[in-house]
Amino acid sequence: METGALAQYIARLTLEKKADDVTIMDLRKLTTMTDYFVICSGDSEVQTKAINDHIHEELRKEKIKIYHTDDKSFEWIVLDLVDIVVHIFKPEVRQFYALEKLWGDAKVVDLKNEN
């Protein structure tokens, strides 16, 4: 699957678990670190964990490898797929770290939950 399409797919997976403020940031012109960030928020640690687990389950079915997961705190979970880095935040932690402002020059796509 092409990287941009995979970022869209992962973003839709977060919406399936009712994630809020889902954003895809295209970083390809800004850094060689990664191509995309997928950023979302969950209202509770239970929800951030559910989003994380759902992404893992669905990507495993598609045989897409997550190279590293940092889920020691369910306030901010990071999934590293190399070309895509997924950030699952509780809202107050997301606001504090403000990745969207830090990478403010990135092209941004916001997704809305249709439900």
Where are any strands of DSSP class E within the chain?
20-26, 36-41, 68-70, 76-80, 84-89, 107-111
Compute the distance between CA of residue 37 and CA of residue 49 in angstroms, rounded to an integer: 18
- As a CATH number, domain 3-110 is 3.30.460.10
Would you say the C-alpha torsion 22, 12, 51, 18 has a positive or negative sign?
positive
Tell me what the pLDDT averaged over the chain comes to. Answer: 92
> Exposed, middle or buried, 93 (CB in 10 Å: 0-12/13-18/19+)?
middle
* Domain range annotation of the chain: 3-110
The reported pTM is 0.92
| Helix H or strand E encompassing 46 | helix 45-61
User: What is d(CA 105, CA 97) in angstroms, rounded to the nearest whole number?
Assistant: 16
Give the mean pLDDT of 62-89: 94
- Return the pLDDT at 110: 80
> Look-up: residue for tokens 């970022």?
7
